[in-house]
Every structure is written in structure tokens, then in C-alpha cells.
């Protein structure tokens, strides 16, 4: 609305006066201002026109309506994030959103045969894939690891690096998961339930009927039976992981011959999705054992199609790889879990991508998971700090860059609070990171090899060989013949156990991240109180044990080798500086693990002071595993994360003999008293009986140890704050289908964990 004064309005009044003059004559008079004043206010004389003029000023208000038309071009597209074709750049919804088919409808159509595999996977990908929305690659996770997988064959893998991949590619009937309070629970996976016969021997399982291998083949009960019997038939020749199932059942016919489909111990019904297995004896831990990756289900038809069997001249089987060469790299179609192996460059990186026909409902939050192998600690630190990787192996001493102890409890990083991380349970996170304290059941240890091998003459020392020769360097009965290895003597292993500086490594090497552990059972497990502190750092005692066992200083160190004959110094020429043992002990650790390297260095130095010669350097992970599998080592630093939550999962693989399905570390240890106690502990259903069995096992083991139990790891983990993890469980590997990565948009994270 606008207001303005209008133009001047002039009103003119002409006044004429008729004045009397001569009879019949008109006369016009000239006006004056007095004449105009006489008329009224506002009149002025206009002498030019001989008139009085009235001037009037009039204000006029005018309302004006003004319309402005502005043209704005908005980007059209689908603005619904739930749609398959969501467009983050779209500014105006153009009604193009495509929601596709629901996962359940696609799977139902595929099961009914009305949709083929190609169309089903296309629709499933369109429906389930994660869609990029931010600047931080929210659909991809990059992880750092210090060691590569040895194999992606679940039936011959026993290292954590392999297990981390296997749990994404293959599935089991049950698995462990966190309950949200720090505890681990067993949850159903491929199984929907089970029943047990009254004698406790026969387990009958029912299976899901909506599970397919990544190539579209339907999983059936016969695949489970074949998979478990493959473990026993193949025998896990490298890793020895098969003991977990071997302790419970066999796959033999009545004549004792192995049967791929279970023989007398199994029955199955594919139409009903059920199968049964009969155990050797009742087991309190059977369901727990099959939750480990060795119980994974593989595609029986594809394994058979890729199985390599060689016959000798008489037509008998000379070798059978049970399709291991095919299974080694996690091939397409082999597994039923959420991811598939897209590529694997050993000792460099491994890439996982979704298996779109995966049975569990829900969309993918991660479309690509990359594992990068980085052995150098400083390189890992820089990559994590710069955001090149989302999380991974960060050394304990480097955690101070991302975490602090909130001493004042005010939720803010105050001066001096980033000086140490001593009070680890009260750790806090610096901006951009999430630091978490975790109490684990992971044991740090050093195993002894009672039957070490050495490279045969002419062998390439850079490649250990499973056909190497046993090292025989000790005369057990004094007849002049070397009939055993010196590592078989209990006194030597006991002495080495007293040469290790437990407290220094727990406190300093691991920065107080190792809690004391005095036997195989970690704190938090049943019957952990059956163990007491026995071995301490006591070099004088170690030397006395060697002296009492007859290992006096008698060998010339300069002539020692791993397996060659030692030169004995004549008694009259001995100076007291000679070595005690006839051969060098090989101490092994792996590159990238600075803590194991430090522990190996300490015990080597300590043994040297009491006359025990040692050798060894850090090995690349692949070489480390090869030496382990081929038994070309004497003392090996390693770790153990639980396969299942039962004390037997530590006792049997640590100290149980191969004869009772134990000895996962390949130590060759057989102690009949320990074995007898462990069989009772494994099979008894009575708590008091089990407890006494572990008391007896510990007493026998401490007199004849086969490994050094160092400590139980409790420490801090760190990741970038855009990573959302499922509830923590102190067992098993991460399940990537349950992870999420929040998108970063305009410098801020969208959403919350």
C-alpha cells in the first residue's frame, strides 16, 4: 500500500458587479484583494483574470497491490531415505521413489521357483544395499590387522585372523553373541532348536528352511552332516582344530571306516529339515563346541565336485584333500553367511562384499569390508589417526593419543588427564573416538614343543617343510643312544617356566593390561579357583632344577646347532661358561606383535645367563604359522581366545593329549594323569566331580608343564566414533552384518548408535 498527495485543485470564482450608471448602461469594476477577503478565507486575487481564486489542497490515499513472480529451479528426485533410489542431492520429491520388493517376498518367489537366482539377487541387492549419504564412506569399513588369515576353510583354521573372516562367510547352527550387559549368550543360527535323548547321548536338531548358499543352492540337513564329517575325514592336518568335534562323535560305519555322511552315528531327513548325532558320552559343552567355526556348514555338492582324490597303482586312495584346495579361499557358493570373499591378496588385503541372498532379515549397513595387513606399528598409528582406517590393531602405548582417564569425573579432558591410562576400567574418549575397556577371556602364553623337527639337509631354510626330521638329542636311558628330544624332559620345561619374568611383562610390556593367570582356566570361568600361583621369575631355582636333572655346563656353545651333534667339552677343560643343552632352543614370535617379541627377547636373555643357548627372530605371520604347523620350533609365544565357554576349552587344547582329542598347540604333550582328570571333567555332569578333576589336573600339570601361562588380557579398544558395534561378547569374532557406520554430512554425524 502506498500514499501520496494529489495535484493542486484550483477552484476559480469569477465575480462581476453591475453598477448603476447612466440609464440602460452596464459598467465592469476592477477587483481588489479586499473584495476577495470579503468573500471568505482562502481567496486570493488573480489580477490577470480580474478574479478571486480559492486554492484547495486535497490529500488522496491510494492502495496499490504489487505481485512479484520469482522462478526457483529445485533438484527433483526421491527424497525418502528408505527408498531404493533415494537421492541425497534431491531437493524436491518427484514421486519417483522405488521401494522394490520386500526381502521376504523375493525369497518366497525364489523358493517357489517363480523368480530365478539372477533376478532374485538383483532385487535383493536393490532392496538391501547400503546407500552412500556422507563424506566418510559410510557403507565401507577398513580394518587393520597385524596378521593375515592362514586359510578361509573353516575345517582347518585355528587362528584368529582366519576366524574373523570365516564368521562372515560361513554359518553355524548356534553362535555366541553379547547380551548387552557384558555377558555372552548362545543364539540360534541355522538351527531352530534341538532335543536330547534321555541317556544324554543323541541330539536331534531342527533346521531353518529358508537358508541358501551364496550361489543359490538350498541348504539341507545333509549339508550339516557332510560338513561335520568332513572335519573328521580331512583331519585338519595343519591346524588340528578338528579336536573340538573329534572329542564328541565319529563318522564311522559299523566296521570302523569313515563315512562322509555320518555312518552309524548320524541320521538325517532333508524333507523334514532334521538330523541326529549320537555322542560318545554325555557332554555338558556339546552345543558350545558346535558354535565354533569348525562346526560351520559348507555346500556338500560343491565340495564333492571340487574334491581331489588320488589313487595309487592298485586303485587305493593315496591322498584326499576333501576339497581343501577349493575351500582355501572361501569360494563362491561355499557358505551361507552374510558376506562373500571378493578378493584376497595374501599378506596384503582381503575384501568382503554382501551375499545378497543371505537368510537373516534386514538391510546391509556395510557393503564392503576391507582387511589391510599392516605389521609396522607406526604405520598403523598414522593410518588410524588420519582416518584411512576405521579401527584395527593399535599398540597399547599409542592409545594415549585417543583415550584418557577422566580423573575429575566431569566428562571433559582436563590438564594432565592424558598423561597415563593406568585406571583402564574408567577410560574416556577424546573427540572423534570411542574408547572401551574390555575384560576378555584371552590368554597369553608360550607353548613348549616336545617333539620339534628340523630342516633336513639341503632344504631351503626360508621354507619349512612338514617332512623335516625329528630332533633327537637326548639319551633318556643312558645307553649312549639319542632316543628323545631334550624338550621331553619335564625338568627342562619346569626350569624354563621359572626363567620367565611374569610380573614385568604383565605390568610393563603390557602396561597393566594382563591380569595374573596361574593355570589354563581364566578368571570368570567355572573352577578358576582350582589354580594357584606356582611359577614365578626365579633364575636361581631354574638353574638348580637343571643341575639336579643332570644338565650341567658341559657343551661348547660355539658348536651348537638346532639338530646337529654337539661338541662335548672335556671335563678337565670346562670353565663353567659352557652351554647346558645339546642343542639351541628356537624361540618364535610373529612380526607386528611387539609384545610377543619383547617376551621372547627376555626369556632368551634369561636362559642365556644360565647356560641355555637360544635362537630366533620375529617371523612374518605366514612363516610363523608354517613353522607352527610343521613343528619346526621349540618355544612359541601365542595367545588363545575361547572357542566355547567351558573350562574344558582351555584344559583340553592346552594340556590334553592328542589321545583324548586335545593338544591344539601341537606340543606333543601326553600326561596320563592329566588326561584321566580331563576326561572326567569333560564328561561329568556333577559340579563337585568336575571341580575335583580340575584340581587333580592342575597338580599333575604343574609338576610337568607344557607351556607358560602368562596372563589374561583386559585392555582398551579404540575406534572412530562413526562406528556402531553390536553388544560386546568376550568370545567369537565380529559379526559385520550387525555393524553400522554413521554418515558424515556437512561435518557432522547423522543419527546415533
**By 3-state DSSP, what share of the chain in percent is helix, strand and coil, each rounded to 5?**
25, 20, 50
What SS3 state is found at 372?
Answer: strand
pLDDT (0 to 100) of residue 61: 57
Any domain includes 270: yes
Domain that holds residue 575: 443-713
Residue 397 lies inside a defined structural domain of this protein: no
H helix or E strand, kind and range, residue 652: helix 648-655
542 and 492 fall within a common domain? yes
The reply to whether 146 and 126 lie within a common domain is: no
Q: Which positions of the chain have pLDDT values less than 50?
A: 1-26, 457-466
Asked if residue 414 is part of any domain, the answer here is no
Residue 451 CA to residue 446 CA, distance in Å, equals: 16
- Is 720 a domain residue? no
Q: Which residue has the cell 643343552?
A: 581
Across 449-501, the runs of DSSP E, i.e. the strands, are 453-454, 469-470
Radius of gyration for the alpha carbons in the chain, expressed in angstroms and rounded: 42
Total number of domains constituting the chain: 4
Residue 71 lies in a domain: no
Does 93 fall in a domain? Answer: no
**Residue 204 Ramachandran class (φ > 0 left, ψ -120 to 50 alpha, else beta):** beta
Are 126 and 145 found together in one domain?
A: no
Distance between CA 654 and CA 519 in Å, rounded? Answer: 10
Instruction: Report how far residue 684's alpha carbon sits from residue 14's, in angstroms, rounded to the nearest whole number.
Output: 137
Looking at the fold, whether 145 and 44 belong to one and the same domain comes out as no
Instruction: Write the DSSP assignment of 421-470 as a string of letters.
Output: --SGGGEEE-TTEEEEEEEEEEEEEEEE-SS-EEPPTT--TTS--TTPEE
The rounded distance, in Å, linking the Cα atoms of 128 and 131 is 9
Query: How many angstroms separate the CA atoms of 679 and 661, rounded?
Result: 10
Nearest-angstrom CA–CA distance, 155 and 344: 19
**What's the confidence (pLDDT) of residue 22?**
35
Residue 719 in any domain: the answer is no
Q: What is the pLDDT of residue 462?
A: 46
Alpha-helical runs (H) found in 474-618: 490-497, 502-504, 539-548, 594-609
Q: What is the phi/psi pair of residue 192, to 5°?
A: -110, -5
Rounded Cα–Cα distance for residues 386 and 369 (Å): 18
Residues 6 or more apart whose CB falls under 8 angstroms from that of 676 comprise none
C-alpha cell at 613: 643357548
| pLDDT value of residue 6 | 38
Same domain, yes or no, for 195 and 334? Answer: yes
Query: CATH code at 302?
Result: 3.40.190.10
Under 8 Å between Cβ of 413 and 425: no
254 and 146 co-located in one domain: yes
Q: Is the Cα torsion angle 309, 312, 316, 317 positive or negative in sign? A: negative
* 352 shares a domain with 225: yes
The whole-angstrom separation of Cα 467 and Cα 403 is: 49
* Helix/strand/coil for 370: strand
469 lies in the same domain as 330: no
- d(CA 225, CA 617) in angstroms, rounded, equals 43
Q: Are residues 38 and 172 in the same domain?
A: no
pTM over 0.85: no
What's the distance, Cα to Cα, between the start and end of the chain in Å? 55
What distance in Å separates the CA atoms of residue 145 and residue 425, rounded to the nearest whole number?
25
Cα separations in angstroms, 645 against 129, 228, 290, 440, 521: 35, 20, 12, 12, 11
* Contact criterion met (CB below 8 Å) for 123 and 102: no
pLDDT of residue 43: 77
286-332 pLDDT tens trace:
999 999 999 999 999 999 999 999 999 998 999 999 999 999 999 99
Could you say which DSSP state residue 387 is in?
Answer: T
Judgement on whether residues 527 and 660 belong to the same structural domain of the protein: yes
Q: Residue 487 falls within a domain, yes or no?
A: yes
Chain-centre distance of CA 608, in angstroms? 39
Are the beta carbons of 19 and 29 closer than 8 angstroms? Answer: yes
* Burial status of residue 262 (CB atoms within 10 A of its CB: 0-12, 13-18, 19 or more): buried
Q: E strands within 463-519?
A: 469-470, 514-515
User: Cell 470564482 identifies what position?
Assistant: 13
Q: Are residues 617 and 477 in the same domain?
A: yes
Contact by Cβ (8 Å): 381, 391: no
Do residues 741 and 690 both lie within one domain? no
Task: Look up cell 469569477; give the residue.
Answer: 14
Asked whether the CA dihedral 487, 493, 499, 505 is positive or negative, the reply is positive
DSSP three-state, residue 169: helix
SS3 letters across 501-562: CHHHHHHHHCCCCEECCCCCCCCCCCCHHHCCCCCCCCHHHHHHHHHHCCCCCCECHHHCCC
Q: Say how far apart CA 374 and CA 348 lie, in whole Å.
A: 8
Report the alpha-carbon distance of residue 398 to residue 402 in Å, rounded: 8
Q: What is the CATH number of the domain that holds 637?
A: 3.10.105.10
User: Tell me, what's the pLDDT at 554?
Assistant: 87
Amino acid at each position: 500500500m502506498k500514499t501520496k498527495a494529489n495535484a493542486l485543485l484550483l477552484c476559480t470564482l469569477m465575480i462581476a458587479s453591475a453598477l448603476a450608471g447612466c440609464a440602460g448602461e452596464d459598467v465592469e469594476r476592477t477587483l481588489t484583494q479586499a473584495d476577495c477577503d470579503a468573500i471568505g478565507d482562502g481567496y486570493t486575487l488573480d489580477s490577470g483574470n480580474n478574479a478571486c481564486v480559492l486554492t484547495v489542497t486535497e490529500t488522496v490515499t491510494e492502495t496499490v497491490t504489487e505481485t512479484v513472480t520469482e522462478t526457483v529451479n529445485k533438484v527433483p528426485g526421491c527424497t525418502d531415505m528408505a527408498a531404493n533410489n533415494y537421492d541425497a542431492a534431491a531437493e524436491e520429491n518427484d514421486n519417483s521413489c522405488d521401494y522394490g520388493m520386500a526381502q521376504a517376498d523375493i525369497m518366497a518367489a525364489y523358493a517357489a521357483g517363480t523368480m530365478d537366482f539372477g533376478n532374485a539377487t538383483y532385487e535383493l541387492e536393490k532392496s538391501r544395499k547400503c546407500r552412500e549419504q556422507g563424506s566418510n564412506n559410510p557403507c565401507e569399513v577398513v580394518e587393520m590387522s597385524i596378521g593375515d588369515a592362514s586359510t578361509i576353510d573353516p575345517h582347518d583354521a585355528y587362528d584368529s585372523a582366519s576366524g574373523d573372516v570365516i564368521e562372515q562367510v560361513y554359518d553355524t547352527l548356534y553362535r555366541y553373541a553379547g547380551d548387552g550387559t557384558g555377558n555372552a549368550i548362545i543364539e540360534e543360527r541355522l538351527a531352530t532348536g534341538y532335543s536330547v535323548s534321555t541317556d544324554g547321548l543323541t541330539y536331534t536338531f531342527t533346521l531353518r528352511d529358508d537358508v541358501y548358499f551364496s550361489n543359490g543352492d538350498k541348504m539341507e540337513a545333509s549339508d550339516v552332516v557332510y560338513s561335520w564329517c568332513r572335519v573328521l575325514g580331512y583331519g585338519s592336518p595343519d591346524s588340528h582344530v578338528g579336536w573340538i568335534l573329534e572329542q564328541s562323535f565319529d563318522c564311522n560305519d559299523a566296521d570302523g571306516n569313515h563315512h562322509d555322511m555320518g555312518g552309524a552315528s548320524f541320521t538325517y531327513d532333508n524333507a523334514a529339515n532334521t538330523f541326529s548325532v549320537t555322542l560318545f558320552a554325555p557332554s555338558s559343552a556339546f552345543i558350545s563346541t558346535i558354535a565354533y567355526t569348525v562346526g560351520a556348514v559348507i555346500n556338500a555338492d560343491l565340495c564333492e565336485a571340487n574334491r581331489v582324490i588320488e589313487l595309487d597303482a592298485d586303485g587305493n586312495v593315496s591322498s584326499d584333500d576333501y576339497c581343501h584346495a577349493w575351500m582355501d579361499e572361501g569360494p563362491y557358493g561355499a557358505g551361507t553367511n552374510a558376506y562373500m570373499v571378493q578378493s584376497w591378496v595374501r599378506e596384503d588385503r582381503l575384501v568382503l562384499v554382501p551375499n545378497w541372498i543371505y537368510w537373516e532379515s534386514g538391510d546391509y549397513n556395510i557393503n564392503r569390508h576391507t582387511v589391510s595387513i599392516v605389521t609396522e606399528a607406526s604405520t598403523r598409528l598414522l593410518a588410524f589417526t588420519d582416518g584411512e582406517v576405521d579401527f584395527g590393531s593399535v599398540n597399547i602405548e599409542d592409545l594415549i593419543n585417543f583415550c584418557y582417564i577422566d580423573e575429575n569425573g566431569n566428562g571433559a579432558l582436563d590438564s594432565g588427564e592424558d598423561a597415563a591410562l593406568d585406571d583402564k576400567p574408567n577410560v574416556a574418549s577424546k573427540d572423534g573416538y570411542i574408547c572401551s575397556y574390555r575384560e576378555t577371556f584371552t590368554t597369553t602364553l608360550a607353548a613348549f614343543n616336545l617333539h620339534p623337527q628340523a630342516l633336513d639337509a639341503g632344504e631351503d631354510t626360508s621354507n619349512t617343510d612338514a617332512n623335516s626330521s625329528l630332533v633327537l638329542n637326548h639319551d633318556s636311558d643312558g645307553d649312549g643312544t639319542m632316543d628323545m628330544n631334550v624338550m621331553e624332559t619335564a625338568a627342562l620345561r619346569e626350569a624354563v617356566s621359572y626363567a620367565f619374568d611374569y610380573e614385568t611383562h604383565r605390568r610393563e610390556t603390557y602396561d597393566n593390561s594382563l591380569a595374573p593367570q596361574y593355570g589354563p582356566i581364566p578368571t570368570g570361568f567355572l573352577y578358576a579357583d582350582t589354580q594357584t600361583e606356582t611359577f614365578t621369575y626365579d633364575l636361581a631355582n631354574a638353574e638348580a632344577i637343571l643341575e639336579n636333572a643332570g644338565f650341567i655346563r658341559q657343551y661348547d656353545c660355539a658348536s651348537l646347532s638346532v639338530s646337529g651333534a654337539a661338541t662335548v667339552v672335556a671335563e678337565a677343560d670346562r670353565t663353567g661358561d659352557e652351554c647346558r643343552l645339546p642343542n639351541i632352543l628356537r624361540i618364535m614370535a610373529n612380526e607386528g606383535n611387539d609384545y610377543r617379541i619383547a617376551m621372547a627377547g627376555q626369556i632368551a636373555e634369561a636362559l642365556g645367563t644360565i647356560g641355555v643357548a637360544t635362537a630366533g627372530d620375529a617371523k612374518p605371520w605366514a612363516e610363523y604359522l608354517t613353522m607352527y604347523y610343521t613343528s619346526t620350533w621349540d618355544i612359541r609365544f601365542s595367545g588363545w581366545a575361547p572357542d566355547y565357554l567351558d573350562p574344558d576349552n582351555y584344559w583340553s587344547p592346552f594340556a590334553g593329549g592328542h589321545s583324548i582329542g586335545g593338544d591344539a598347540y601341537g606340543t606333543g604333550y601326553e600326561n596320563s594323569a592329566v588326561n584321566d582328570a580331563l576326561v572326567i571333567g569333560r564328561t561329568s555332569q556333577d559340579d563337585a566331580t568336575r571341580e575335583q578333576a580340575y584340581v587333580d589336573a592342575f597338580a599333575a600339570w604343574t609338576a610337568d608343564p607344557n607351556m607358560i601361562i602368562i596372563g589374561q588380557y583386559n585392555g582398551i579398544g579404540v575406534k572412530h566414533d562413526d562406528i556402531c558395534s553390536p553388544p560386546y561378547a568376550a568370545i567369537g569374532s565380529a559379526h559385520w552384518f550387525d555393524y553400522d557406520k554413521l554418515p558424515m554430512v556437512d561435518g557432522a554425524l547423522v543419527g546415533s548408535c
